[in-house]
Amino acid sequence: MEKQKSAMTGKSKPVRTRKAIVVGRPLEVAETARLNAITQQCNGPSETLAPKVRQQTPAVGQRAPRPDGRLHGLGETKYIDDMSFPGMLYCKIKRAGIASALIRRIDTREAEAMPGVMAIITGKDIPVNSFGPSIADQPVLAFERVFHAGDGVAAVAAVTEQIALDALEMIKVEYEALPAVFDPAEAMKDGAPKVHPPSSNIYASRLIKKGDVQKGFRDSYRIFENTYSTQMVEHVPIEPHCSIAAWDSNGRLTIHSTLGRITLGRTDIARTLQLPINRIRLVATIVGGNFGGKNEITQEPALAVLSRRTGRPVKGTFTRTEEFTATTTRHPVVMRYKTGVSKEGKILARKVHLVLDGGAYCSWSETTLGKACILSPGPYNIDNVHSEAFVVYTNKTMTGAMRGFGAPQVCFAYESQMDEIAEALNIDPLEIRMRNAFTEGSSSPTGQVLHSVVVRESLVQAAERYGWKEARK
Amino acid sequence: MKKRGRGIACMWYPIGFTVAANPSAAVVKVNEDGTAIVLTGTVETGQGSLTVLGQIAAEELGIAPDDVHVVSADTDTTPMDTGAIASRTTYVTGNAVRFAAAKAKELLFQVAAPMLGVKPEQLEARDRRIQVKNYPQRNIGIGEAAHQAQFAMGQPALGSASFNPATVALDPETGQGKPFATYVYATQIADVDVDDETGEVQVLRVVASHDCGVAINPMLVEGQIEGGISMGVGFALHEEMLFDTSGRQLNPNLTNYIMPTSLDMPEIEIDIVKNFEPTGPFGAKGVGEPTAVPTAAAIMNAVYDAVGARVYSLPATSEKVLAAINAAKTKQLPTPRQKRIAAR
Q: Who among B18, B50, B277 is closest to A452 (CB)?
A: B277
Give the per-residue pLDDT at A471: 53
Contact state of B75 with A263 under an 8 Å Cβ cutoff: yes
Chain A segment 187-216 residues within 8 A of B by beta carbon are 206-210
Comparing alpha-carbon positions, the chain A residue that sits nearest to B244 is A182
Comparing alpha-carbon positions, the chain B residue that sits nearest to A447 is B176
Q: Which of A466, A469, A473 to probe the B interface (max B CBs under 10 A)? A: A466
Mean pLDDT of A23-51: 51
Answer yes or no: is pLDDT of A132 > 90.
Answer: yes
B37 touches chain A (CB under 8 A): no
A447 touches chain B (CB under 8 A): yes
Chain B segment 77-96 residues within 8 A of A by beta carbon are 80-86
Q: Under a CB-based contact definition with an 8 Å cutoff, are residues B101 and B160 in contact?
A: no
Contact state of B235 with A232 under an 8 Å Cβ cutoff: no
Q: Are strands B182-195 and B2-15 parallel, antiparallel or unpaired?
A: antiparallel
Tell me which chain A residues have a C-beta less than 8 angstroms from the C-beta of B92.
none
B162 touches chain A (CB under 8 A): no
Give the per-residue pLDDT at A51: 46
Chain A segment 382-401 residues within 8 A of B by beta carbon are 387, 395-397, 401
Mean pLDDT of A23-49: 51
**Given pLDDT bands bounded at 50, 70 and 90, which one contains residue A22?**
very low
Give the per-residue pLDDT at A46: 47
What is the SS3 string spanning B185-242?
A: EEEEEEEEEEECCCCCEEEEEEEEEEECECCCCHHHHHHHHHHHHHHHHHHHHHCCCC
pLDDT digits (tens, 9 = 90+) for A64-90: 999 999 999 999 999 999 999 999 999
Chain A nearest-CA distance from B216, in A, is: 5
Contact state of B86 with A405 under an 8 Å Cβ cutoff: yes
DSSP B55-95: HHHHHHHT--GGGEEEEESBTTTS--B--S-TT-IIIIIHH
Mean pLDDT of A368-377: 98
Mean pLDDT of A210-222: 98
Tell me which chain A residues have a C-beta less than 8 angstroms from the C-beta of B336.
423
Tell me which chain B residues have a C-beta less than 8 angstroms from the C-beta of A149.
246-249
pLDDT digits (tens, 9 = 90+) for A431-458: 999 999 999 999 999 999 999 999 999 9
Contact state of B310 with A379 under an 8 Å Cβ cutoff: no
Interface predicted TM-score (ipTM): 0.96
Mean pLDDT of A294-321: 98
Task: List chain B pLDDT tens, one digit each, 344 residues.
Answer: 999 999 999 999 999 999 999 999 999 999 999 999 999 999 999 999 999 999 999 999 999 999 999 999 999 999 999 999 999 999 999 999 999 999 999 999 999 999 999 999 999 999 999 999 999 999 999 999 999 999 999 999 999 999 999 999 999 999 999 999 999 999 999 999 999 999 999 999 999 999 999 999 999 999 999 999 999 999 999 999 999 999 999 999 999 999 999 999 999 999 999 999 999 999 999 999 999 999 999 999 999 999 999 999 999 999 999 999 999 988 777 777 777 777 76
A260 touches chain B (CB under 8 A): yes
**Given pLDDT bands bounded at 50, 70 and 90, which one contains residue A53?**
confident
- Close Cβ partners of B81 (under 8 Å, ≥ 6 residues apart): A261, A262, A263, B23, B24, B25, B26, B40, B41, B42, B93
DSSP 8-state assignment for residue B121:
G
pLDDT digits (tens, 9 = 90+) for A165-189: 999 999 999 999 999 999 999 999 9
Tell me what percent of the residues of chain A surpass a pLDDT of 70: 89
Answer yes or no: is pLDDT of A238 > 80.
Answer: yes
Q: Which of B241, B259, B300 to probe the A interface (max A CBs under 10 A)? A: B241
Give the per-residue pLDDT at B331: 79
Assign residue B209 a region: left if phi > 0, alpha if psi is -120 to 50, beta otherwise?
Answer: beta
DSSP 8-state assignment for residue B149:
I
**Given pLDDT bands bounded at 50, 70 and 90, which one contains residue A31?**
low
Tell me which chain B residues have a C-beta less than 8 angstroms from the C-beta of A51.
none
Answer yes or no: is pLDDT of A1 > 70.
Answer: no
Tell me what percent of the residues of chain A surpass a pLDDT of 90: 87
Query: For A325, phi and psi rounded to 5 degrees?
Result: -90, -25
Q: Who among A99, A229, A423 is closest to B247 (CB)?
A: A99
Cα–Cα distance between B158 and B106 in angstroms, integer?
9
Cα–Cα distance between B21 and B281 in angstroms, integer?
19
For the question of whether the overall pTM of this predicted structure is more than 0.80, the answer is yes
Contact state of A208 with B178 under an 8 Å Cβ cutoff: no
Annotated catalytic residue B269:
no
Tell me which chain B residues have a C-beta less than 8 angstroms from the C-beta of A407.
11, 13, 289-290, 293
B55 touches chain A (CB under 8 A): yes
Q: Are strands B24-30 and B2-15 parallel, antiparallel or unpaired?
A: unpaired
Answer yes or no: is pLDDT of A427 > 90.
Answer: yes
Answer yes or no: is pLDDT of A203 > 50.
Answer: yes
Mean pLDDT of A150-162: 98
Tell me which chain B residues have a C-beta less than 8 angstroms from the C-beta of A330.
235
Residue A91: strand pairing partners: A157, A316
Comparing alpha-carbon positions, the chain B residue that sits nearest to A47 is B219
Give the per-residue pLDDT at A35: 55
To which H or E segment does residue B160 belong?
Answer: strand B158-163
Q: Which one of B60, B124, B289, B319 is the catalytic residue?
A: B289
DSSP 8-state assignment for residue B309:
-
Q: Tell me what the pLDDT averaged over chain A comes to.
A: 91
A440 touches chain B (CB under 8 A): no
Chain B nearest-CA distance from A285, in A, is: 6
Tell me which chain B residues have a C-beta less than 8 angstroms from the C-beta of A53.
65
Residue B139: strand pairing partners: B131
Answer yes or no: is pLDDT of A403 > 60.
Answer: yes
Tell me which chain A residues have a C-beta less than 8 angstroms from the C-beta of B217.
61-64
- Close Cβ partners of A123 (under 8 Å, ≥ 6 residues apart): A129, A139, A140, A141, A142, A143, A144, A153
Tell me which chain A residues have a C-beta less than 8 angstroms from the C-beta of B54.
59, 64, 67
Chain A segment 145-184 residues within 8 A of B by beta carbon are 148-150, 180, 182
